[in-house]
Amino acid sequence: MTTTASPIRSEPIDDHTAMIVASDLLLDVRSRDPFSGLWEPGDVQWWYATEPKLAAVSRSLWRDRDGKPIAVTLEAVFADEPGQPPRVDVDVLGDLEPGGAAREHVLPVVLGQLADPAFHPGSIVAMNVDGGDADLAGRLMRLGLAEAPHDRLDAMGQRADAVATVPALPVGYRFADGTEPAAGAHHLAGRNGPDVHARLLRCPLHRREFDLRIVAPDGTAAAYCLLWRDGATGVGHFEPVRTEDAHQRRGLGRALMAEGIRRLAAQGATLIKVDTYANNPAAVALYTRAGFQRWNVKRSFHRPPVVV
Ligand SMILES: CC(C)(COP(=O)(O)OP(=O)(O)OC[C@H]1O[C@@H](n2cnc3c(N)ncnc32)[C@H](O)[C@@H]1OP(=O)(O)O)[C@@H](O)C(=O)NCCC(=O)NCCS
């Protein structure tokens, strides 16, 4: 689509270019304020790695009148909830701060699309909003979107400490990382699709030593996380984090977080972040016990399917 009312234009782009450009735009925003904005570059790289799981994704690159990229927009269609309508998550990745190019030029166009009943009429349409952004929340509510409290994310953070103690693992468990590949399929493949590892290797912030897991006595991955660190801002980030059901409540999650923080700090991270659904008490408790504090929330606003 090309807009005529504003000095910008947009074009469809492929998944890899979208991930690279969006990461650069977010890094640029972060280099001015490590707390600003909604998503981390690691988030968009993780989305890229797991994208084949989704029903569909469309992406656009937005440029200013000089041809400089100012935003990437994503429409990601999830159709994995049995009995539920599909859900389309709409994201504007760029400078959404007041006066930022994405906010001034791209957001109004996207909000115009959300207001159109012909925009994904059979789907729930969802947009995440920074907890401090009352202006955008108000604009979405005036368009008929309502806040979905069950979808709220807690954004948590803590200062990094490279010398933090890592708790001992239960007998027979040990740490491993991507420098020691598993014999069979990558441990993320089961939940995240067979391509996940190959796609991770194409992400600029991916490091084999940040592909961290705890191996159970039977050789399977009992717990795992991915770590992301951007050198520009010193932000380290966990996404995803999981202990498999059979191994929970043995301290693996706590050990994984401590070892992850230690690795990120050793590579220069000074601020560590993790997001969790606010209604996930296990994750909130784990992260709180691991020293994280909530510094913001990410509110989710939904438009129900349009009845025609
Ligand atoms: C959240 C999760 C990673 C915790 O892993 P874990 O290995 O069981 O965690 P630990 O045994 O190290 O527990 C550490 C602390 O977290 C808290 N905690 C862990 N599981 C909990 C639960 N089910 N309910 C309440 N608190 C819990 C407790 O404070 C616990 O300390 P304690 O056992 O001394 O009371 C695990 O439940 C999980 O993978 N869940 C599904 C995926 C998920 O939600 N990931 C996080 C998404 S952001």
Centre of ligand 1 from the C-alpha of residue 186, in Å: 23
Are domains 9-154+298-303 and 157-296 of this chain identical in fold? Answer: yes
Per-residue pLDDT of 246-271, as tens digits, reads 999 999 999 999 999 999 999 999 99
Q: Which residue lies with its CA nearest to atom 5 of ligand 1?
A: 253
d(CA 47, CA 76): 10
**Side chain identity at 51, as an amino acid letter?**
E
Break the chain into its structural domains and give their ranges: 9-154+298-303, 157-296
Instruction: Indicate the top mutation candidate among 243, 256, 280, 294 to test ligand 1's pocket, ranked by most ligand atoms within 8 A of CB.
Output: 243
Per-residue pLDDT of 50-91, as tens digits, reads 999 999 999 999 999 999 999 999 999 999 889 999 999 999
State the chain's mean pLDDT as an integer.
Answer: 94
Per-residue pLDDT of 180-236, as tens digits, reads 988 889 999 999 999 999 999 999 999 999 999 999 999 999 999 999 998 888 999
Instruction: Indicate the top mutation candidate among 245, 286, 288 to test ligand 1's pocket, ranked by most ligand atoms within 8 A of CB.
Output: 286
d(CA 2, CA 36): 29
**Residue 119 DSSP label:** S
Q: Which residues are 238's β-sheet partners?
A: 227, 274
Pairing verdict, β 153-159 and 174-176 = unpaired
| Residues 35-73: b if buried by 16+ CB within 10 A, e if exposed | ebbbbbbbbbbbbbbbbeeeeebebbbbbbeeeebbbbb
2's CB contacts (< 8 A; 6+ apart) are 9, 10
Comparing CA positions, the residue from 301, 288, 252 lying closest to residue 150 is: 301
Which secondary structure element, helix H or strand E, spans residue 46, and what is its range? helix 41-50
Helices 281-289 + 252-266 axis angle, to 10: 50
Q: Which residue lies with its CA nearest to atom 35 of ligand 1?
A: 249
For residues 279 and 153, the answer to whether their CB atoms sit within 8 Å is no
For residues 99 and 62, the answer to whether their CB atoms sit within 8 Å is no
Pocket of ligand 1 (CB under 6 A): 223, 241-243, 248-254, 276, 280-283, 285-286, 289
**Side chain identity at 34, as an amino acid letter?**
P
CATH architecture of the region 157-296? 3-Layer(aba) Sandwich (3.40)
Centre of ligand 1 from the C-alpha of residue 233, in Å: 29
Helices and strands, number each (H, E), in the chain:
9, 13
Please tell me the pTM assigned to this model: 0.95
Tell me the CB-side half-sphere exposure of residue 169, using CA atoms within 13 A.
Answer: 20
Q: Which residue lies with its CA nearest to atom 36 of ligand 1?
A: 243
Four-way CATH pick for 9-154+298-303: 3.40.50.970, 3.40.50.920, 3.40.50.2000, 3.40.630.30: 3.40.630.30
